[in-house]
Homo-oligomer: A and B are copies of this chain.
Amino acid sequence: MQTGTTKTSNEQPRRARRRVTIADVANHLGVTKSTVSRALNGYTDISDSTRLRISRAAERLGYRPLSHAQAIRTGRVRSLGLVLQVDNEDSARPFLADFIAGVTQAASAENWTVTIATSETERGVQETLSRLVDEHKADGFILPRTRSRDKRVEALRAQNIPFIMFGRTEDPTGCSWYDIKGEDAMRAATARLASQGHKRIAHVPGGSEYTYSKLRIGGYRDGLAAAGLSIDPALITAPAITHDGGEAATRSLLMMAEPPTAITFAVDRAALGAYRVAQDLGLHIGSDFSVIAYDGIPEGAYANPALTTFAVNSRQAGDRLASLLIKRIRGAAPEELRELAPATLVERGSDGPPRLTPAELAQCLKDIQKREVQWEEPT
């Protein structure tokens, strides 16, 4: 006998049992869906007693509303968008895990989720972002590494979509942000070096398209001024954000007639390039010349001597960004959502009182160069 609709009861449960829906809860209690919905969403026109009955029943039946089912009416998917640019090499690398941990943690705390995407190019980021916007995959976006003029900002602002920046822009209209006071850090770095006795202090800035770069240069200048040192434009090199870039910048500085005895770097990674130069020339970082940088990447701790740097708390940054963005999505005015936090100095071995004056250092470097030429001659 075949019964088409009857299933033998002990078949393997291939389809997971049906979800419990709001209708299930309603039927179970003999009320309507609308009552359940309003009870669970805190409407005031539901009596406390029914609200209690309903929330208890919902709990007991294991009812969890589908956020995407809610979204279709409310327009909120309860998700934060994060589009990262992951370059060919390193860049954001070490920060990322902490940053993401911070973001997701804050999101989870509010029962939100994080939708993440990546691209290798700036254009790709743009496109991915607009895809996520078009499909409404997130209610708002976190924009890391903001540029002075940022296309993402312009696009989102034009469409009135909530966003928050990790960094600042030229035009703050309608913008919210969380940022680290890199300017303060650079001012402090310069001041510290000056107090150690350095008279010529250089600065290797970061990518000129980013706001932070200008801010940190400003901090460097302020630090010099505060210490009563003159500002020599030649002591500010071309931007450098990689090992190679930092190496080149360092070489160019040391080749000056009156080289600096200390260098501030806007970015740790560039500072690590200076180590190569030092090793190459047989100079000791921390005495022959000093280095202070910014970021707090792990490699800095392993360098020899370990890199003195201003560390940023990426985890906290992610956390704050997510929290602020959620507030923004819930309706807070963008102007009220602006936070700045300090970087924290990690004192290590790459800075100290200068062993030589700039002139002596120049002489020393000349000697080294001569020796190297001698080595090469016999060949």
Contacts and interface: CB of A to CB of B under 8 A. Distances in A.
Contacts of A121: none
A93 B104 contact: no
**Copies of the protein in its oligomer:** 2
Contacts of A108: 117, 119, 128
B92 A97 contact: yes
B160 A16 contact: yes
A104 B69 CA distance: 24
B117 A114 contact: yes
Interface string A112-142: 0111111110000000100110111100000
Interface in A59-77: 62, 64-69, 71-72, 77
Contact of A72 (B66, B98, B117): B66
Contacts of A113: 115-117, 132, 137
A228 interface: no
B86 A101 contact: yes
A15 interface: yes
Contacts of A94: 93-94
Interface in A30-83: 62, 64-69, 71-72, 77, 79
A10 interface: no
A116 B100 contact: yes
Contacts of A19: 136
A72 B128 CA distance: 24
Contacts of A378: none
A97 B92 CA distance: 8
A374 interface: no
A32 B43 CA distance: 37
A131 B66 CA distance: 11
Contacts of A7: none
A314 B108 CA distance: 26
B302 A134 contact: no
Contact of A68 (B93, B98, B116, B136): B136
A105 interface: yes
A66 to B, nearest CB: 6
A62, A113, A114 — most chain B CB neighbours (10 Å): A113
A115 B117 contact: no
A160 B68 contact: no
Contacts of A160: 13-16
A2 interface: no
Contact of A135 (B64, B97, B98, B101): B64
A235 interface: no
Contacts of A116: 100, 104, 113-116
Contact of A69 (B72, B79, B90, B100): B72
Given A104-B117, A104-B118, A105-B118, A67 B16 contact: no
Contacts of A115: 79, 113-116
A85 to B, nearest CB: 10
A71, A97, A108, A302 — most chain B CB neighbours (10 Å): A97
Given A64-B135, A90-B298, A113-B115, 5 more contacts: A16-B161, A67-B135, A104-B117, A114-B116, A299-B302
**Shortest beta-carbon contacts, A-B, top 3:** A68-B68, A64-B134, A104-B118
17 contacts: A14-B160, A62-B134, A67-B136, A68-B68, A68-B71, A68-B136, A69-B72, A72-B72, A86-B100, A96-B96, A97-B97, A100-B100, A100-B118, A101-B118, A104-B116, A114-B115, A115-B115
